[in-house]
Amino acid sequence: MSGVSIETPRTLLYGVGLGPGDPDYMTVRARDIILKADRLVHFCKRGRRGNARITADAIIAPDPGREIELAFPVTIEVPVEDEGYTGPIAAFYDEAAEQLAGEMAAGRSIAVLCDGDPFFYGSFMHLWRRLAHRFPTEVVPGVTGMAGAWARAEAPISWGDDVMTVVPGTLAEGELTRRLADTDAAVIMKLGRNLPKVRRALQAAGLINRAIYVERATMAGQVVTRLAEKPDDEAPYFSMILVPGEGRRL
């Protein structure tokens, strides 16, 4: 109808990608939302600040009255396929969603701080699934951890018509091997206790000499090394393996 304006509902839920860890890779949009949101939310391990919140320290000081900490009941100490993980984690997301819903029902905007990109293997997605249909939502994309990793490793990941596959290290060894053997380039996420299995799969797929191990890309303590030269099987949460493609180069 001509002359009639329709008011857009105020966004209440933001999933804010903060990039791979170096605050210089944070977008202008992410910074703006962090500064204006009524509540800042971050995921963390019990007794520790979350990495995304630490990244945000570059632009905003801690403010207990404004912040909501969501501490996971379990993390890497329980395998993800175990009921001792899935049950408590699902209940955790249910409870967290209702806590945030209460804030938004009162008219307060929520910025959930996310490592990398909110829609790429992110915890925010589980809140989004529970809340986005109930409250106006915006997802702010961020530089992914893998983009930070291949930039710092100086390893172009895909050339020409290379097909790149993102593989979680949690897959069974045979499935890992099959998928790695069937792609031109790969990024292997979720290493942790899976690193020995991933190493064997790369060896079986004939890719071990192309594999690059990257730990804490763009952050303090960054490590970049050929996987074949890594002497141990330790792999913290912020680690991944890159297998650059070898496609058409002009």
Which helix (H) or strand (E) segment holds residue 142: the answer is none
| Residue 53 within any structural domain of the chain | yes
| Residue 2 within any structural domain of the chain | no
Residue 169, domain extent: 146-243
Residue 111 shares a structural domain with residue 164: no
The confidence score (pLDDT) of residue 1 equals 45
Residue 151 shares a structural domain with residue 235: yes
Residue 155 shares a structural domain with residue 227: yes
Report the distance separating Cα 66 and Cα 48, nearest Å.
18
Question: 163-177 pLDDT, tens per residue?
Answer: 999 999 999 999 999
100: domain CATH number is 3.40.1010.10
pTM: 0.90
Question: 168-203 pLDDT, tens per residue?
Answer: 999 999 999 999 999 999 999 999 999 999 999 999
- Domain final residue pick, 143, 172, 206: 143
Question: 37-67 pLDDT, tens per residue?
Answer: 999 999 999 888 999 999 999 999 999 999 9
Which helix (H) or strand (E) segment holds residue 15: the answer is strand 13-17
Burial of residue 191, with CB atoms counted within 10 A of its CB: 0-12 exposed, 13-18 middle, 19 or more buried = buried
